[in-house]
Structure 1
Amino acid sequence: MTSVSGVRGIVGESLTPETIIKYVSIFGQKNKGQAIIVGGDPRVSSRFIRPIVTGTLMAAGCRVINIGVSPTPTVEIAVKKLKAAGGIAITASHNPMEWNGLKFIGKDGMFLPEREIFTLFQEADQRKRHYTAWQELGNEEHYEKAVEDHLELIYRLPYLEIEKIRKKKYKVALDCVNGAGGVIIPRLLADFGCEVISLNTEPTGEFAHSPEPIPQNLVDLAVAVKKNKADMGIAVDPDVDRMAMISNEGNPLGEEYTLALAVKFLLGKKLGHVVVNLSTSRVIDEIAQYYNVLLFKTKVGEINVSQRMKEVEAVIGGEGNGGVILPEVHPGRDAATGIALILQALTEFNGTLSQLKQSLPQYYILKDKENIRNIDSDKVIDHFSEKFKNEQLDLTDGLRIDRADSWIHLRKSNTEPIIRIIVESRTPEISWRILQEVKEEIHKLPTS
C-alpha cells in the first residue's frame, strides 16, 4: 500500500523482502554516494526489515547512518543535523503490530513531497534496479546521539521555562505502547521534573494494545491516572509523531485538543500564520480568529501541511490527529515537542489540565468510515456536493462542508472501498445524528 506517507503493508502479505528492496533500491539509486539516515520504531518485524533496508542502500552505493530505535521526528531531525541526503524511517505509524512500512525523507528533513514520492513509486514499478560494483559499495556507521540532539532542540525553545515546570512536580501516567516513545518521552518528562507512572514504556515493539492514541485504546491509561491521582496521562503512537492526553479527572481530551492547546499557547507568545489539514477541529479556527492571524488548510498528510507552513512561514501547525508541528524544532509532527509546549502552557495557566481544556472552545468530533463496495466514490462526493450546494464547500481533499454550527468532511480511500467521514459540532448528540444521517444517505445511493 503506497500513499503520500510512504509504503505500508502487512508483513508477509503486502510487505515482503521483495517489496522493501523494490522501493529502497530506487531511493538508494537516487542518492548514490551520499549519506542516508535509517531509524524507526521497534516493532518486531523491523528485526529483518532494518538489515534489508541498510543492505539495499549500501548495495546502491549509499553511506548508511543507523540511528537505531528512534521516533520518526528524530530521524527527520538527524537528516538535517548530519547533513544527509535523506532518510528512511521504518515504521507503520499507528497501525497494529502485523504492519510495518517505510517513510521516505528528503534532505530538508521533511517527507518527500507528493509529486516526488509518487514518482519514486512509479520508477520502482518500471525502472530496472542497478547496484554498484564491489569497490563502490556503501558502508554503515552508527550514530548514538540522535535522541539527545532532538531533546536539545526542544530544550532551547525560548518559550520553555524548564525550572518552573520542574517546580510543579507533575505526576504523569505515560503509555508509549512499547514503541519508540520509550527512548525519548520518559527522559523528556524526567528532565522536566515529572514523576512518571510507566505503562508500556519498554521499546520491545510488542504493542500492549491497539497502538493508535484514541480514547477506546487508552482505557488502562485513564485508570492509571485516577488510581494514582496523576495530573495527566500522556499517550504516544509507536513512531511518536502523534500524542493524546488524559485529564486529571481520567477523561480523554481527544486528539484534536493536543494541537489546540499547543496552538493557543504558541500564539500567546508569537503571532503568525497557522496551517492545519482539512480534517482538523474548528477549535483551531476560533483560536486563530481570537489572535487575528491567518489560518490555512491543506489536504490530509503531514507533508502537505509542512510544505504549506514553509510557503507561508507559519509559526505553528499540524494535524488534528494529535500531530503538532513547530518549525523552530523541525518541520514535521512531533509528540515530544507537543508535550513540552503543553506542560509549559499548564504551568502558566496554574490550574488543572481539565480546566485548561475547558478554557478552549468546546467541540465534539466523530470519525468513521463507510463501506461503499458497490457505489462509485465520486458519485458519493457529487451527491453531497449537490445536496449542500448552498453551504461553504471545499473540494481540495474529498469534500468538506462547512455550516454555521457544524462541518462534515468526506474523503475517499485510494486503497479500500470506503468513504472516510468526519463530523464536528457543538454537542456529541448533534455530531452523532449528523454522522448517522450521512451514513444512511450513502446507503441509499444507487449501486454500480
Structure 2
Amino acid sequence: MVNKPPLMISVSGVRGIVGESMTASVCLRWAQAFGHLCSKGTVVVGGDSRVSKTMMRAATISGLASAGASIIDVGVVPTPTVSLAVERHSASGGIAITASHNPAEWNALKFYGSDGLFIDSGQGQLLRSLVEGDRSFDVPAFEVGTYARDEHAIESHLNAVLGLPFLDADAIRKRKFRVGLDAVHGAGGELLTRMLDMLGCEVVSYHVEPTGRFPRNPEPTNENLRKISSAMREDRVDIGFVLDPDADRLALVRSDGLPAGEELTLCVAALAALPHIPGPVVANCSTSLALREIAKDFNREYFETKVGEAHVARKMIEVNAAIGGEGNGGVMLPMIHAARDSAVGAALVLKALLEFGGTSADLFDSLPRFSLVKKKREFNSLEEQREAMERLNSVDSLGTPDCLDGLKWRTSDAWVQARQSNTEPIVRVFAEASSSERAEELADLILKKLS
C-alpha cells in the first residue's frame, strides 16, 4: 500500500492532496473551528482557480456558516485580493482557498486575521487545538451565519494599486509597453490583464483563463520559465510577467527572452518605491544580497526576518518599512497592504522601467550582480532530516552561523543557508556569492555535510 501524503499544517494554514489528506470533512472541520475562533463574526472567502475549488469552497462556506460566522464570498480572486477585502469589509477574518505554487491536485486553506494579515503562531496553535479537540461548533438554526457575494473585490484591488500617488499612470500609458502576461491558468489573469490595460499596455496573453489546469509546474522558478520565456522572446515583449496560481508571486522575463526570475522582482520594485516612500527595507533571510545593496544606495536600514510572509509583514509594520517582501517574487508595499501582491509588483516594475528609460534587459544588467543557487537534500524521514541538520554543527570553516531561521553562514561577500522543512523531510540549501562558482562551492560544502 502506498502511504498517503500527510496533511501539512503550518502556522497560518493547512494543505494536502485533494481526496487524500485534504477532504471535504477536513475542510469543513477547519472552517468550523475558524468560524468559532472569529467569534461568529464575518469571514471573507476567496480562492484560486483549482479544479477542486467547488468542493473546497462549499465545505468552507458550510463550515463557517454552521459555526455561526457570516460569509462574504469574493469568488475566484488572487490571494492578495482576499487580504484587501478583509480590511475593506472590516471582517473578523478571511480564508484564501489556494495551495499557491503547489501542483493542481493540492489545495489548502490559508487563514487571515482581522488586520488582513495571516494569523500568527499563537492564533494558529489555538486554531489547531480547536480542530483536534472533540468540541462541536454547530449552532442552532437561527444562529447559522449569512451569505453574501462581493462582486467588486478585483475592482477595489485595482483602485488601490492604480491609486498609488507616485505611480504616474499617465506617463506609463504614454510609454505603451508591450507586456507578456502568463497567469498559468490561475486566479491572476483578470486582475493583471485589467490593470495592464488601464496602464495603456499592449498585453500578449498566455494561459490567462482561470481553468485551474496548469500548463507546467506552476512555481515560477527559472527552470520552469524556459518555455514561456522563449515564447515571450518570439513575441518581442518589453517585459514579461509570470504569476503563480494565486498571484501573490511575480517572476519576470527580460526583453531579450531570458528569465530574470523571482529574485530580482523585489529589487526592481524597490528601485521604484524607495525614492518616494521613507522608511527601512525588510526581507526574509533567504533574499538576495542585491536588495541589501539597493537599500544601502538609498541610505535605508535593512532588516531580515524568518522565511514566511507573516514574519515579514509584522516586521514591516513594527519598523514602519517602505517596502519589503521575499526573494521568491513576493513584493509587499504597506502603503497598500503588508501582503505579497503580484499586481503591486507589476505596477512598480513598470514604474522602474519607465524611469530607467532603457530596455528591461539593460535594467536587470544594471542591478547589483550576485549569483544565487538553490538546492535541496531529501531524506526518508523527519528523524533523518534532524540528524543531518545536527551534522552541520561541525562546519567550522565558515565561522559561527546565525540561527534566525535554520543555519546561515556569512562571509564578506557571500552567504549559505540550510533550512529544514517543518512538514517534509527536506533540507533546502541556498547560497549566494559574487560568482556562480563560489555560490556552488558553498552550497556543495553544506550538501556534503548533510549526506
Pick the TM interval, shorter chain. Answer: over 0.9
Which residue of the partner structure matches residue 401 of structure 1? Answer: 409
Q: TM-score, normalised by structure 2?
A: 0.95
Preserved CA contact (<8 Å) 2:37 2:127: no
Which residue of the partner structure matches residue 419 of structure 2? Answer: 411
Preserved CA contact (<8 Å) 1:176 1:238: yes
Alignment equivalent of 2:171, drawn from 144, 164, 168: 164
Residues 1:318 and 2:325 aligned together: yes
Equivalent-residue separation in structure 1 for 2:421 and 2:38 (angstroms)? 31
State the Cα distance separating 1:155 from its structure 2 match. Answer: 1.0
User: What are the ranges of 5 or more consecutive residues in structure 1 without an aligned counterpart?
Assistant: 444-448
Residues 1:146 and 2:153 aligned together: yes
Preserved CA contact (<8 Å) 2:67 2:144: yes
- SS of the aligned residue for 2:91 comes to coil
* CA shift digits 1:316-343 (9 cap, x unpaired): 1001100000001111100100000110
Preserved CA contact (<8 Å) 1:316 1:325: yes
Which structure 2 residues correspond to residues 242-261 of structure 1 after superposition, within 5 A? 242-261=249-268
Which residue of the partner structure matches residue 288 of structure 2? Answer: 281
Preserved CA contact (<8 Å) 2:389 2:450: no
Which residue of the partner structure matches residue 356 of structure 1? Answer: 363
One-letter code aligned to 2:284:
N
Which residue of the partner structure matches residue 177 of structure 1? Answer: 184
Which residue of the partner structure matches residue 128 of structure 1? Answer: 135
Equivalent-residue separation in structure 2 for 1:381 and 1:403 (angstroms)? 20
Q: TM-score, normalised by structure 1?
A: 0.96
Equivalent-residue separation in structure 2 for 1:333 and 1:431 (angstroms)? 27
One-letter code aligned to 1:368:
K
- SS of the aligned residue for 1:12 comes to coil
Which residue of the partner structure matches residue 5 of structure 2? Answer: none
Equivalent-residue separation in structure 2 for 1:356 and 1:384 (angstroms)? 39
Which residue of the partner structure matches residue 431 of structure 2? Answer: 423
* CA shift digits 1:301-326 (9 cap, x unpaired): 10010011111111110011000000
The aligned length equals 443
Task: Indicate how the Cα distance of structure 1 residues 300 and 124 shifts in structure 2: closer, same or farther if over 3 A, else same.
Answer: same
State the Cα distance separating 1:382 from its structure 2 match. Answer: 4.0
One-letter code aligned to 2:374:
K
Percent identity reads 42
Residues 1:436 and 2:439 aligned together: no
Preserved CA contact (<8 Å) 1:221 1:233: no
Residues 1:299 and 2:303 aligned together: no
One-letter code aligned to 2:212:
G
Equivalent-residue separation in structure 2 for 1:359 and 1:106 (angstroms)? 40
Preserved CA contact (<8 Å) 1:264 1:287: yes
Residues 1:329 and 2:336 aligned together: yes
Alignment equivalent of 2:29, drawn from 22, 25, 28: 22
State the Cα distance separating 1:385 from its structure 2 match. Answer: 3.9
Which residue of the partner structure matches residue 102 of structure 2? Answer: 95
Alignment equivalent of 2:84, drawn from 61, 65, 77: 77
- SS of the aligned residue for 1:230 comes to coil
State the Cα distance separating 1:346 from its structure 2 match. Answer: 0.5
User: What are the ranges of 5 or more consecutive residues in structure 2 without an aligned counterpart?
Assistant: 1-7
State the Cα distance separating 1:97 from its structure 2 match. Answer: 0.2
Residues 1:366 and 2:366 aligned together: no
Residues 1:263 and 2:308 aligned together: no
State the Cα distance separating 1:379 from its structure 2 match. Answer: 4.3
* CA shift digits 1:377-404 (9 cap, x unpaired): 4444444344237635220111111112
State the Cα distance separating 1:171 from its structure 2 match. Answer: 0.8
* CA shift digits 1:55-95 (9 cap, x unpaired): 11111111110010011100000001011111100000000
Preserved CA contact (<8 Å) 2:243 2:251: yes
RMSD: 1.5
Preserved CA contact (<8 Å) 2:25 2:59: no
Equivalent-residue separation in structure 2 for 1:388 and 1:358 (angstroms)? 35
Give 4+ residue runs of structure 1 displaced > 4 Å after superposition.
Answer: none
